[in-house]
């Protein structure tokens, strides 16, 4: 890639806190700062790390993303984010697609690729969701649909409650049980896959801590 001034800033997004972003980190390579969202990213308002990145970058910087579908979930959103960044003097690089958008660069073929690849990715996600809905409907019709598998047993959930009552941090319990904090919160609150398992006892506030609820992280390169 050509030389440029300013910092190289990476944006990484995984849909859940259980997904491993290692491949995206490897794809973007050595960078100065990394902003990581741990959310599905259906809209820009749901991605706090992206908002933080947009506030952080300055003219002359480069935003590097492993692939287009990590930056946006729709072709319109993708084009808007790229236009906003390049309009502020920031380069945008997509590693998988081998595309770079520079400030003042109005290459019509590159713009066509941006819209085309973004639209294809959006269509693919829609088709996957449709196939999932059809598969669930068919499984329900056959009486074999059981929903998402539970990672914690009833005994483990009861043990977690006892340990929380004893003052053990939930993050520590989740690590020992080999699950994410979100899974533990859902199990304790009877949400998601654990909805049917929730007892009659009322639970306290099981909301995640500030770092989990914000759903993003910023990391700096080592000096």
Task: With respect to residue 151, please indicate whether it lies within any of the assigned structural domains.
Answer: yes
In a domain, 104, yes or no: yes
The pLDDT averaged over each successive group of 10 residues in the chain (223 residues) is 73 81 94 90 79 95 93 82 91 91 72 66 65 73 67 88 90 87 86 60 39 55 62
pTM, entire model: 0.55
Q: Are residues 28 and 111 in the same domain?
A: yes
Catalytic residue chosen out of the listed positions 15, 40, 74, 180: 15
Q: Per the domain annotation, does 167 fall within a domain?
A: yes
Same domain, 55 and 157: no
Tell me, yes or no, whether 187 and 102 share the same domain: no
Q: Is 15 a catalytic residue?
A: yes
Q: How far is CA 90 from the centre of its chain?
A: 23
46 lies in a domain? Answer: yes
Q: The domain containing residue 155 runs over which residues? A: 147-197
Which helix (H) or strand (E) covers residue 94, if one does? strand 91-94
What are the backbone angles phi and psi of residue 76, rounded to the nearest 5°?
-65, -45
Q: 65 and 109 in one domain?
A: yes
CATH number (domain holding residue 12): 3.40.50.1390
Instruction: Give alpha helix (H) positions in the chain.
Output: 22-28, 48-56, 68-71, 75-87, 108-142, 154-165, 170-177, 181-189, 210-214
Q: Domain for residue 206, yes or no? A: no
Contact partners, residue 43, CB within 8 Å, separation at least 6 = 73, 77
What is the DSSP secondary-structure string of 173-200?
HHHHHTS-HHHHHHHHHT-GGGGGG--S
What is the reported pLDDT for 3?
A: 46
CA distance 66 to 97: 9
97 shares a domain with 41: yes
Q: Do 26 and 92 lie in a common domain?
A: yes
The reported pLDDT for the residue numbered 205 is 39
Domain match, 38 and 87 both? yes
What pLDDT is stored for residue 74 in this prediction?
77
47 shares a domain with 93: yes
Instruction: Let me know if residue 220 belongs to a domain.
Output: no
Report the pLDDT value the prediction gives residue 55, as an integer from 0 to 100: 95
Per-residue pLDDT, 41: 60
Domain total of the chain: 2
| Nearest-angstrom CA–CA distance, 18 and 174 | 12
Q: Residue 203 falls within a domain, yes or no?
A: no
Residue in this structure with the two tokens 């910023």, named with its chain if needed: 218
Asked, for residue 17, whether it belongs to a domain, the answer is yes
Residues 13 and 77 in one domain: yes
Same domain flag for 56 and 112: yes
């Amino acid at each position: 890639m050509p030389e440029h001034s300013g910092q190289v800033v990476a944006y990484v997004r995984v849909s859940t806190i259980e997904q491993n972003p290692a491949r995206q980190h490897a794809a973007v390579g050595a960078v100065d700062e990394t902003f990581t969202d741990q959310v599905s990213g259906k809209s820009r308002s749901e991605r706090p790390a992206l908002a933080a990145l947009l506030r952080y970058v300055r003219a002359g910087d480069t935003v590097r993303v492993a692939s287009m579908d990590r930056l946006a979930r729709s072709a319109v959103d993708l084009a808007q984010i790229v236009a906003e960044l390049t309009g502020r003097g920031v380069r945008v690089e997509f590693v998988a697609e081998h595309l770079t958008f520079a400030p003042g660069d109005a290459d019509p073929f590159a713009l066509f690729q941006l819209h085309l690849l973004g639209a294809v990715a959006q269509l693919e996600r829609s088709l996957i969701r449709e196939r999932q809905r059809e598969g669930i409907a068919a499984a329900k019709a056959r009486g074999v649909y059981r929903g998402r598998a539970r990672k914690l047993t009833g005994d483990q959930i009861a043990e977690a409650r006892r340990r929380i009552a004893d003052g053990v941090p939930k993050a520590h319990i989740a690590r020992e049980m080999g699950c994410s904090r979100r899974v533990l919160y859902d199990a304790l609150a009877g949400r998601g896959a654990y909805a049917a398992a929730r007892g009659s006892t009322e639970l306290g506030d099981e909301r995640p801590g500030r770092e989990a609820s914000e759903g993003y992280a910023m990391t700096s390169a080592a000096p």
